[in-house]
């Protein structure tokens, strides 16, 4: 499913764009030459086409040729509020979730959390995963990854859903895209009774993912896959 | 999302069931005692509840208490025909795909395949992944993992779909569950023109997964997630 034009992140889309050290290094690795065209994006929704107009051993600059609409985004922002998971599972969810159009990842502390909290270095790593995945999936928006909150502190404006075994609700029958969307995904041990009470206070709607038991890292991708397959 | 009753695979559901060496070892690890109850399943759709009636250092036996309907399966078999992928990506797809209800994984050779073929040991490993995932997701059916075929040799009875960027079709609007379902998922490089011609000859319908570019291991999970979220 790859498309092979190079993508470069810039600070701001403008007539002339000097590249950051990291992006300059990336360009050098791609063996681009002056005159080559690349796609550019700024990580907050602006994207376009640019030409490499300057390249030496220390610096590089691009000239903006055209701007694009950001057609790769959902009509409303989609937040994935996800409980902390062990090992590389959060990275896997952030990577695939970015491909599947998440706008913001809000990490959550829940009663049965696999890990109590995560450090700053892990958070930085998750943000890097989101940036890389945004590039690869040709999104102009790099999703934010927000430091963990307790579920009780989550504010969910707009429509809010969580997957819970045995629920009658179906995600695609309920999503209206008239307001922001929050999908809440639990830890490996599931939501505790106090979490469920909290979800109810939030006004979150329980929905089904079928009769099978899903791992905590599979469930959010199933929810997001349903949105993606709806073609919105 | 875990439920904590132990699950044991047996050869056939019957009044008295002697355990295989592998399952016996598994039981010993679980520290079960005579009189404990476990869930049993035979890997082809039969499942039930059983009591441990015999356990010594060399052998164990169960007595069947009741049979269950296999409520965890889709109304029709779902085949995921998937192109060969590098590294552990196929294991990840088989694990999550099993949780998401796949009946059979048919490995595929395509024009732009990441790897040309896989060996018997890899195939054996994928089958073990499917068995483990079936247990964890409480399915009574262990999905088959079939050795690679060229796409031209795939026979797709029933409804057949593949994800292709820019397609207008939407999976859930087209699936009728009146016949078996085959979902075809391409390699990292996408389907080649000759693959697309082959898919057309098969009568496969292209469907959308939205405007973002998905990795080859994410796309099949998005398709299966859509089925799961439909609550069928």
pLDDT of residue A69: 63
pLDDT of residue B70: 64
CA-based end-to-end distance of chain B: 19
Residue (of A52, A126, A58, A53) closest to A89 by Cα position: A126
Find the helix or strand (DSSP H, E) in which A13 lies.
Answer: none
Residues B99 and B214 in one domain: yes
ipTM, two decimals, is 0.77
SS3 assignment for A194-209: HHHHHHHHHCCEEECC
Residues A87 and A124 in one domain: yes
Residue of A nearest to B162 (CA): A229
Question: Taking the mean position of all CA atoms in its chain, how far away is CA B96?
Answer: 8
pLDDT of residue B221: 97
pLDDT of residue B1: 36
Residue (of A142, A103, A139, A107) closest to A123 by Cα position: A107
Q: Which of A72, A170, A189 sits opposite B231 (nearest CB)?
A: A170
**B1/A154: higher pLDDT:** A154
Under 8 Å between Cβ of B9 and B131: yes
CB-based contact A71 B211, cutoff 8 Å: yes
CA distances from B131 to A6, A142, B95, B165 (A): 41, 37, 9, 33
B chain contacts of residue A165, beta-carbon cutoff 8 Å: 1
Residues B60 and B122 in one domain: no
Under 8 Å between Cβ of A99 and A133: yes
pLDDT of residue B69: 63
**B211/A30: higher pLDDT:** B211
Find the helix or strand (DSSP H, E) in which B133 lies.
Answer: helix B120-136
Token duo for residue B145: 């993992």
Q: How far apart are CA B181 and CA B102, in angstroms?
A: 10
**B10, pLDDT greater than 90:** no
In a domain, B83, yes or no: yes
Q: How far apart are CA A62 and CA A55, in angstroms?
A: 9
How many residues in chain A? Answer: 232
In a domain, B73, yes or no: no
**Most confident region among A37-46, A51-60, B23-32, B140-149 by mean pLDDT:** B140-149
Question: Taking the mean position of all CA atoms in its chain, how far away is CA B158?
Answer: 18
In a domain, A2, yes or no: no
Residue (of A97, A102, A184) closest to A149 by Cα position: A184
- Within chain A, residue ranges assigned H as helices are 21-29, 89-99, 120-136, 171-174, 193-202, 219-229
Specify the CATH number for the domain of residue A35. 2.40.240.20
**B41/B107: higher pLDDT:** B107
Q: How far apart are CA B185 and CA B181, in angstroms?
A: 13
Token duo for residue B104: 């059979």
B chain contacts of residue A100, beta-carbon cutoff 8 Å: 210, 212, 214, 218, 222
Instruction: Dump pLDDT digits (tens) for B155-178.
Output: 878 999 999 888 889 999 999 998
pLDDT of residue B28: 72
Q: How far apart are CA B186 and CA B36, in angstroms?
A: 46
Residues B126 and B155 in one domain: yes
CB-based contact B225 A230, cutoff 8 Å: no
CA-based end-to-end distance of chain A: 19
What is the number of CB-based contacts under 8 A between chain A and chain B?
160
Under 8 Å between Cβ of A106 and A149: yes
pLDDT of residue A168: 86
Q: How far apart are CA A82 and CA A148, in angstroms?
A: 9
Instruction: Dump pLDDT digits (tens) for B93-130.
Output: 999 999 999 999 999 999 888 788 899 999 999 999 99
pLDDT of residue B25: 77
Query: Dihedral of the CA atoms B141, B142, B148, B151 (nearest 10)?
Result: 30
Residues A64 and A144 in one domain: no
Question: Domain range for residue A223?
Answer: 78-229
CB-based contact A138 B212, cutoff 8 Å: yes
Q: How far apart are CA B192 and CA B13, in angstroms?
A: 46
Under 8 Å between Cβ of B148 and B116: no
Residues A175 and A90 in one domain: yes
Under 8 Å between Cβ of A224 and A161: no
pLDDT of residue A4: 53
Q: How far apart are CA A92 and CA A107, in angstroms?
A: 14
Q: How many CA within 13 A on the CB side of residue A153?
A: 10
A chain contacts of residue B189, beta-carbon cutoff 8 Å: 2
Residues A47 and A88 in one domain: no
Residues B85 and B104 in one domain: yes
Q: How many CA within 13 A on the CB side of residue A86?
A: 6
**B80/A20: higher pLDDT:** B80
Residue (of A32, A12, A40) closest to A134 by Cα position: A40
Task: Summarize the confidence of residues B127-140 as an average pLDDT.
Answer: 92
Token duo for residue A138: 């040709």
> pLDDT by residue for chain A (232 residues), tens digit each?
334 578 888 888 888 998 877 777 777 777 888 999 988 888 777 788 899 999 887 888 999 998 876 668 898 899 999 999 998 999 999 999 999 999 999 999 998 887 888 999 999 999 999 999 999 988 888 999 999 999 999 987 899 999 988 888 999 999 999 899 999 999 988 899 999 999 999 999 999 998 898 999 999 999 999 999 998 8
CB-based contact A226 B221, cutoff 8 Å: no
Other beta carbons less than 10 A from residue B35's beta carbon: 9
Q: How far apart are CA B59 and CA A94, in angstroms?
A: 45
Residues A114 and A32 in one domain: no
Residue of B nearest to A227 (CA): B226
What domain count does chain B have? 2
Specify the CATH number for the domain of residue A193. 3.40.1280.10
A chain contacts of residue B168, beta-carbon cutoff 8 Å: 231
Residue matched to tokens 């909150």: A149
CB-based contact B227 A216, cutoff 8 Å: no
In a domain, A164, yes or no: yes
Task: Summarize the confidence of residues B17-31 as an average pLDDT.
Answer: 79
């Amino acid at each position: 499913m790859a498309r092979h034009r190079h993508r470069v992140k810039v600070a701001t889309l403008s007539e002339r764009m000097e590249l950051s050290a990291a992006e300059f290094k990336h360009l050098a690795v791609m063996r681009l030459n002056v005159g080559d065209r690349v796609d550019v994006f700024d990580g907050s929704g602006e994207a376009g086409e640019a030409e490499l107009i300057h390249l030496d051993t220390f610096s590089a600059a691009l000239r903006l040729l055209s701007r694009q609409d950001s057609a790769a985004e959902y009509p409303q922002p989609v937040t994935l509020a996800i409980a902390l998971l062990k090992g590389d599972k959060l990275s896997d969810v952030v990577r695939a979730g970015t491909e599947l159009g998440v706008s913001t990842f809000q990490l959550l502390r829940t009663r049965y959390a696999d890990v109590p909290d995560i450090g700053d270095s892990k958070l930085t790593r998750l943000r890097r995963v989101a940036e890389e995945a945004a590039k690869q999936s040709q999104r102009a928006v790099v999703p934010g990854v927000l430091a963990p909150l307790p579920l009780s502190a989550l504010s969910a404006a707009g429509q809010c859903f969580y997957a819970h075994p045995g629920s009658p609700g179906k995600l695609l029958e309920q999503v209206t895209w008239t307001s922001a969307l929050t999908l809440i995904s639990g830890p490996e041990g599931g939501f505790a009774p106090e979490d469920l009470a909290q979800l109810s206070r939030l006004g979150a709607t329980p929905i089904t993912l079928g009769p099978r038991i899903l791992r905590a890292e599979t469930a959010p991708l199933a929810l997001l896959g349903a949105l993606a397959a709806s073609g919105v």
